[in-house]
Chain A
């Protein structure tokens, strides 16, 4: 069952430090070519750990389309 929310990275703010990668319990986040973090939205359950950890405030949680 898909979660109601997922993490979304605001690339302009991301500094690609990798803090989010370390805390993701499902390994749903990676750093794309050293440019920015990228979230595998299919894997992400929207727990928000990455958003809490991100020092740049570049991650927020978004509601999935169609989620109640």
Chain B
């Protein structure tokens, strides 16, 4: 624990700014692609989970609310939320919803549908959001993707806030689809740790051996 603050310790501000910008102009939702691509690129190119550990704005935001502002009950996260079945199940569900969003974007791009000027919360509830769409000089599918992507970002932030309040500040991290995906990439990259790294096999300390 080091008391010195770094620039990346203030990244929590990104979450409210991102959601705020999307409230006024939905096209800002495209910025969310950074949070989507960066963790994967870092993990793929050998940076491990540096994004989760250091740069995740949402993780910091939840830590701030639940930790410093004490908005969390700080109770243990239910064990089933941390099981591989739930984590990978949630990842698959998240991807299915993501591809459904891409399909809707495709339909708008093909002219089969008009832009749905609403945000879908929890993949179910349609929330009017027409004030944030002022038309676009670009193709309509650009706006449709923005509405869909913002829906995903807002829904996942709300889920994060709910589990933050009920359990530990960063309970969302336990089943965060990006975290699960990057950890999977890291696992595949890491393989079996060599002897010189102190692996005695099956010790359940690092997990690198897959035990």
**Chain A interface (Cβ < 8 Å from any Cβ of B):** 8-19, 21-25, 27, 31-36, 38-39, 53-58
Contacts and interface: CB of A to CB of B under 8 A. Distances in A.
A36 B207 contact: yes
A16 B205 contact: no
Contact of A11 (B79, B185, B205): B205
Interface residues of B, number: 43
Contacts of B167: 55
A35 B43 CA distance: 10
Interface of B: 1-2, 43, 47-50, 52-54, 59, 63, 76-77, 79, 82, 84, 87, 167-174, 176, 179-180, 182-183, 185-187, 189-190, 193, 204-208, 211
Residue from A15, A34, A38 whose CB has the most chain B CB atoms within 10 Å: A34
A35 B54 CA distance: 15
14 contacts: A9-B205, A15-B87, A15-B173, A16-B49, A17-B59, A17-B170, A33-B186, A33-B190, A34-B43, A34-B182, A34-B186, A35-B187, A36-B207, A55-B174
A38 to B, nearest CB: 5
* Minimum-distance CB pairs A-B, first 4: A34-B48, A11-B207, A18-B53, A34-B186
Nearest to A8: B205
